[in-house]
Structure 1
Amino acid sequence: MAPPEVPTGTGPGRIVVAVYAVLALAATGRSILQITSYFERAPLAYVLSALAALIYLVATLALAKGGQSGARVATWAILVEAAGVLTVGTLSFVAPDLFPDKTLWSHYGSGYGYLPLVLPFVGLWWIHRARRAGGEQTPGR
């Protein structure tokens, strides 16, 4: 018997995928500009911007793919994303010298309307909901 389908990229999930795709493009563009033009100003911040872009890209593709493996990869990417935005967001306040220029995750994504802070939790909620809709049993149920 095949494992149940996890429809993460269908229905309302298309909006989640689209938002991830937009942030992937925004982070990619910003990191390329920062790395090629101002790298010496804040190398750690700009490398983390590029890492954020990669994480958003992986989450976008995995959510769009769906299925068991897509949901699993998306979950891990989104957990890394959540840890990144919380860590960088906190560091940008307590050690502002590490982040002299804004990045996607600095100040918890304030330059992007705090979307980077909220999105990982929306993404994890959506994966959980899609798993239940696809018939996968959640532990403890």
Structure 2
Amino acid sequence: MGGPAPEPTGADTARGPGRVLVAVYGVFALAAGARAVVQLAVQFDEAPVAYLLSALAAVVYVVATVGLARGGRNGRRTAMAACGVELAGVLVVGTLSLVDPAAFPDATVWSGFGQGYGYVPLVLPVLGLLWLRHLSELDAPDGDAHGRPGPG
């Protein structure tokens, strides 16, 4: 009777914004992965850093997709870490690609803050982090996402 509540196992992403995030991350994982594989196999000598960064982006998208799809506390932690790495990557690579365009002779997924992908790579991790924060707040028993008691 008084045992711990069962941990959600994917209900987080079964519908609504969570399902959309999983789908978009899945598409980006496939797109970035396919692009990186072709670039690394055929054009590696032209821009190795850019192509390796695209491969890194693909891995981050796969990890985020799996974390979001898995749901639960561990899945959310995994997705939170991936979204954080993604946001940092977009900001760092985006800035470097504008400050020193010669360092990026070919675009990456994160170049120009994701300009080649309609800036989705810049917006997606922010939306992902906001969604994950929302889920954490929903799971917090009578308090906030850090376990502190709520008012009253």
- The TM-score bracket by the shorter chain reads over 0.9
User: Matched residues in 2 for 1:30 and 1:85: separation?
Assistant: 17
How high is the sequence identity, in percent, across the aligned residues?
Answer: 50
User: Matched residues in 2 for 1:121 and 1:57: separation?
Assistant: 17
Q: Report which of the two has the higher share of helix.
A: 1
Give the conservation status (yes or no) of the 8 Å contact 2:37–2:55: yes
**Structure 2 residue runs without a partner (length 5+):** none
Task: Report matched runs for 1:54-133 at 5 Å.
Answer: 54-133=59-138
User: Matched residues in 2 for 1:2 and 1:41: separation?
Assistant: 54
TM-score (norm 1): 0.93
Check if 1:10 corresponds to 2:14.
yes
**Structure 1 residue runs without a partner (length 5+):** none
User: Matched residues in 1 for 2:69 and 2:117: separation?
Assistant: 23
Partner of 2:139: 134
The code of the aligned residue for 1:104 comes to: V
RMSD across aligned positions (CA): 1.6
* SS of alignment partner, residue 106 of structure 2: coil
Partner deviation per Cα, 1:79-128 (whole Å, 9 max, x = no partner): 00000010110111111112111111000001111000000000001111
The code of the aligned residue for 1:80 comes to: V
The structure whose RCO (Cα within 8 Å, separation 6+) is larger is 1
